[in-house]
Amino acid sequence: MALLRPFLPHTSLSKPLPFSLLNPTPKRNPPPPPPSTKRTIAYLSQPHKPSPQLIQLKKQSTKCHAVIETEGGVSVDEKEGTREEDHPILLGPSSLEETRGERVVVDYDWTEEWYPLYLTQNVPDDAPLGLTVFDKQVVLYRDGDGKFQCYEDRCPHRLAKLSEGQLIDGRLECLYHGWQFEGEGKCVKIPQLPANAKIPRSACVKTYEVRESQGVVWVWMSRKTPPDLSKLPWFENFARPGFQDTSTTHELPYDHSILLENLMDPAHIPISHDRTDWTAKREDAQALLFEVTERTDRGFAGWWGKEKDQSMPNFLRFDAPCVLQNNRELVDKDGEKHYFTGLFLCRPSGQGKSMLIVRFGGTKRSPLAKLFPKWYFHQNASKVFEQDMGFLSSQNEVLMKEKVPTKELYLSLKSSDTWVAEYRKWMDKVGHGMPYHFGHSTISLPEVPAVVEHAPAGLVAGLSASSPAKGGIGTMHAPNLSNRYFRHVIHCKGCSSVVKAFQAWKKALFGMALALTALAILASGRQWKAFLLVSMTLCLAGVYACSSAIAMNTTNFIRTHRRL
């Protein structure tokens, strides 16, 4: 959200379309499931028993009186015992089923979905790539023909990770014993076999179907059901003439559901991302308007905007399993319509972890944005996620610890949390078909919960990443999700090459500065000494500039008001 401004011209796009004239961006959706796939469950009792700590907390909370300032300046004291639906500012039931204490359940299988694996442009040409979807580990690589292949990340011989292997003539080789695989997982070489022995059929590796679409590699996680191409996401704005986007990838230390609800929460942007770019300002924090126009078994959609503007020019759509887009249409002074999209593709990469592909773009870009290199916007995106990282990882910890649905933990406002509540209620319908889920009224925890470690932001994250106890080998290259280099740079060919280039220039300029210093000492003429010293100073200034650029790409954001 906060990164969309680089694509919005400051003067030419001054006439937003009226709300009544805007149409949602069309999308190819699969037909709704037949009515038989829906089941309505009536609650005869509370679906989940609150923990003793939560019961005690609720007893204590009845002593609290919330004071609300209304527009006329009158203070209203909310009395104890007031039910949630009696609060005019809190979100209540959104359907008749919820009002009656019923829950609609639909048939859902998380494996029968397309998941975003990687940006096509960042898939390595010379090495395999190890990735995860929930708890399933896969390996992605380009074969000799440049075609994407995706296998289970496990050698059938002794279970070594194939992603730790290498590519030889377009074949994927396990570096443990040298077994090689190609095509549909066929084993084509086993060095240890006798001369006349044939490779056993059982030596093949399990495969997954992948497709490349609009610059993203998608994987179909089911090996029982053929890929459903009608579910493969397609984004109309990205196919429009003249559409340009800035795309980044980020690995993050919290659950994908927490990431999604953060991305569909425009209310936090003025506060969390104050002055991060040209749009976010904390004095702009205000009540928002929301209108849900679509609810299906596969997601929801609607409009939103600022209450003070009394308009809703932004269209948000969430589609199963993990696609979120925020679209806007604007008309310039010449009457030409322009399209802008903030697209978020969130892949669950394990308990307490997620990987996000961010794509911001439009058919017209701000002239100011053309003055900055792409890596500047990439590091700015990293900064945005670091600003939220401490909050969201701690939220992840609370959900895992409390073990109750979000309805019993969240205090949701109509003027800020509508999309979050819609998402968690959608989880209630389909969560039973996922490895685990946190719903509005339901919850199912992982069978074997992982250890979720709080991911601090700023200086603490840097120290943690460089600590040997964390497996660190230095602040920049530490394999720790709190570290910007590990979270983004290694997943981005552009930023990786930029960092390497600045490092090379830094070494060269430092060497030149040493050489010029030595020559200045040996030089006899005053003019030569002055010339050499000035040149040395310029080289050191270049070293400083290169160091600053490297730091921008690899160092975590630190809030200046924090006591460190």
- Interval 540-544 mean pLDDT: 97
CA pair distance 559, 460, nearest whole angstrom: 11
- Interval 88-95 mean pLDDT: 82
- Interval 288-299 mean pLDDT: 95
Give the amino acid at 477: H
User: So what's the pLDDT on residue 16?
Assistant: 42
Tell me: pLDDT of 563 over 70.
no
- Interval 255-284 mean pLDDT: 90
- Interval 260-284 mean pLDDT: 89
Tell me: pLDDT of 404 over 90.
yes
CA pair distance 296, 68, nearest whole angstrom: 35
Tell me: pLDDT of 50 over 80.
no
- Interval 465-486 mean pLDDT: 51
Cis peptide leading into residue 321 (ω within 30°): yes
- Interval 169-193 mean pLDDT: 94
- With beta carbons less than 8 A apart as the criterion, state whether 313 and 16 touch: yes
CA pair distance 480, 474, nearest whole angstrom: 11
* pLDDT tens digits, 112-144: 999 999 999 999 998 999 999 998 999 999 999
CA pair distance 138, 121, nearest whole angstrom: 19
User: So what's the pLDDT on residue 92?
Assistant: 80
User: So what's the pLDDT on residue 210?
Assistant: 97
Q: Cβ of 408: how many Cβ atoms within 10 Å?
A: 17
Of 162-176, 219-233, 348-362, 444-458, the one with minimum mean pLDDT is 444-458
Of 147-151, 438-442, 471-475, the one with minimum mean pLDDT is 471-475
Of 20-34, 98-112, 156-170, the one with minimum mean pLDDT is 20-34
- Interval 403-425 mean pLDDT: 94
User: So what's the pLDDT on residue 475?
Assistant: 44
User: So what's the pLDDT on residue 464?
Assistant: 44
When pLDDT is cut at 50, 70 and 90, the band that residue 182 belongs to is: very high
This model's pTM is above 0.75 = yes
Tell me: pLDDT of 457 over 60.
no
Cα angle 382, 366, 553 (rounded to 5 degrees) comes to 20
Report the share of the chain in percent with pLDDT over 70. Answer: 77
Tell me: pLDDT of 82 over 60.
no
The overall average pLDDT reported for the chain is 81
3-class secondary structure for 33-98? CCHHHEEEEECCCCCCCCCHHHHHHHHHHCCCCCEEECCCCCEEECCCCCCHHHCCCECCCCCHHH
* pLDDT tens digits, 427-439: 999 999 999 999 9
User: So what's the pLDDT on residue 58?
Assistant: 45
Q: Cβ of 98: how many Cβ atoms within 10 Å?
A: 16
- Interval 506-526 mean pLDDT: 94
Per the structure block, which two tokens stand in for 32?
């709704």
